Amino acid sequence: MFKRKSAKDKPAKPKKSKKAKAAKPAKAKKEKTPRVKSDIVVQKPDTDVYTVMLVIAFISILTACLLLYIELSRYGSYPWWK
């Protein structure tokens, strides 16, 4: 169905010479201008379904922990069998 390519099928890459590296012009340093955030207006994204599900799960876990604490507090201190 599909034929796997071997290393021989790949085209040869041209080798870079050392002269090409030396011939590159040096980059001129640019002065960094401070960016002002007041120019950019970013709209806060709406709450999506996953955020609501995360909040519901968090409230459910807190409720379960509270109910478990109330249930265990009925039996007294820790060694309940004594």
Region 34-58 average pLDDT: 85
Number of domains present in the structure of the chain: 1
Q: Which domain holds residue 60?
A: 48-76
CA 82 vs. chain centroid, Å, equals 50
Question: 5 falls in which pLDDT band (50, 70, 90)?
Answer: low
Within-domain flag for 53: yes
**What's the burial of 68, exposed, middle or buried (CB within 10 Å: 0-12/13-18/19+)?**
exposed
How far, in Å, CA of 78 to CA of 69, rounded?
12
How far, in Å, CA of 25 to CA of 22, rounded?
8
Within-domain flag for 6: no
DSSP H or E run through 81: none
Arithmetic mean of pLDDT over the chain: 77
* pLDDT at residue 69 is higher than 80: yes
* pLDDT at residue 10 is higher than 70: no
Within-domain flag for 16: no
